[in-house]
Amino acid sequence: MRPSKRALGLLLGAGILFLIGTNVQAGWLYVLAALLLGALAAGLVLPFAALRGLSIELVAPEEAEQGVPTIIELRVEGPSRGVRRNVTVRDTHLEPVEVVLPPIRRRERIEVTTLRTPRRRGEVLTVQAELRSNAPFGVAERRVRAKLLARTFVLPRVFPLGTLPFVEPIATNARAVHEAPRRGQGPDYLGIREYRAGDPMRHVHWALTARHGRLMVREFEEERTRRLAVVVDTERDEGDAWTPLDRCCSVAASVLDAATAHGQGARLIAARPGLGIDVLTRADRSEMLRWLANLQPSGIPLEATLGGLGPEDLRGIQTIVIALPIWDRGERPPLDGDVRRLVSLVPRVVCVLVEPAATDAGLVADRLAAAGADVRRWGPQDDLAEAISRQGIRT
């Protein structure tokens, strides 16, 4: 219960009328003072019943996209008797919203549709909302926290990119990327079997050979798609909304969406807190977006992430895309050596520089380009599709 300025005004007015009435001996002033005190007393007592019997529910989608307006429905059901007036509901699901409700009659159900824009990635769980009412005189406001359950998984923003200029198109008769695997010479394991004459010795699985007492070899899947790897720099982050890490995840999600739409295979690589370098392979679009949505600052430098990638991690990869933010006036530890090593392992290395406002990334871009990377720069006001399609570096 919180008294308002109106309560202080009524109390002060009643006191003044009482003093004047005492001095001039006017009984009608006593009556006015009593009316003001009565209104004050009623305004302090009645709000206790103003929110009784109300039930609230939030209807939210299971998934939403960061930065895209999402419809959230608020449902309030009235009490078994009486009318509730001047009710305000406030909740923070996806973003803070305050809704003033019309009078709620007996067992009446009121539905209010709100449009909210998710600010951050990841799972958003709301377990309570605040109900407020200052009925009937606005003298005091009562606040009650109502229990509810609303859960929405916010995925990274996906921008339409069309055909990626740094990924060669493929010709395939497959109806989808993920089909029943067949034996072939691809980069992924299909299974383990006994050694047959003519099998390459590099495919021998020595651990299982020792366990079973006979030669066991790895079988690989047939390679039917070109493969793309996306590395996200998760060393650190800053800000509350649309942060550099959010933008890097958006780059990764948009590139993966465009690649998989054209039949490309894809894998994700990033450092994660407590897990080290995590590699996601053979995942569908939904799983990849959820993986990106869960990325948090890891404290692991990008140099360590790139340095930990060996030939086995990049087996079958045709193009590797590195999404990295630029910090502190365009300065960051040099990546020249790591990029040169990746260029020797992968046919094409693309670096997408996520630039904040008032940052000069020209020096970083020049160094990466000199190391053999294809550099793309995405400024805060630039369109991502144009930045990705832009050839060369911008000076």
The C-alpha atoms of residue 91 and residue 226 are separated, in whole angstroms, by 46
Antiparallel, parallel or unpaired: β 227-232 and 265-272:
parallel
Antiparallel, parallel or unpaired: β 122-133 and 2-3:
unpaired
**Residue 65: pLDDT over 70:** yes
What is the value of pTM for the model shown?
0.74
Q: Are 349 and 322 in contact (CB under 8 A)?
A: yes
Burial 226-246 (b: 16+ CB within 10 A, else e): bbbbbbbbbbebeeeeebbbb
Q: 130: phi > 0 → left, psi -120 to 50 → alpha, else beta; which?
A: beta
**223-263 confidence digits (pLDDT tens):** 445 578 999 999 999 888 889 999 999 999 999 998 888 77
**Lowest-confidence region among 1-10, 87-96, 150-159:** 1-10
**Residue 182: pLDDT over 50:** no
pLDDT for 84 equals: 87
pLDDT for 250 equals: 96
**Lowest-confidence region among 138-142, 186-190, 296-300:** 186-190
**Residue 344: pLDDT over 70:** yes
Task: Please give the class, per CATH, of domain 227-389.
Answer: alpha beta
**Residue 3: pLDDT over 70:** no
66: Cβ contacts below 8 Å, ≥ 6 apart? 118, 119, 120, 121, 154, 155, 156, 157, 242, 246, 250
pLDDT for 381 equals: 86
**67-115 confidence digits (pLDDT tens):** 999 999 999 999 988 888 889 999 999 999 999 999 999 989 999 999 9
Angle between helices 285-293 and 244-261 (to 10 degrees): 170
**Residue 179: pLDDT over 50:** no
Burial 170-194 (b: 16+ CB within 10 A, else e): eeeeeeebeeebeeeebbbeeeeee
Structure tokens at 350: 């693309």
Rounded mean pLDDT, 33-61: 80
**Lowest-confidence region among 29-38, 208-217, 219-228:** 219-228
Rounded mean pLDDT, 180-192: 53
Compute how many other C-beta atoms are within 10 angstroms of the C-beta atom of residue 86: 18
Domain map (residue ranges) of the chain: 2-45, 51-155, 183-221, 227-389
DSSP annotation of 95 reads S
What would the CATH number be for the domain defined by 51-155? 2.60.40.10
**What is the Cα Rg of the chain in Å?**
32
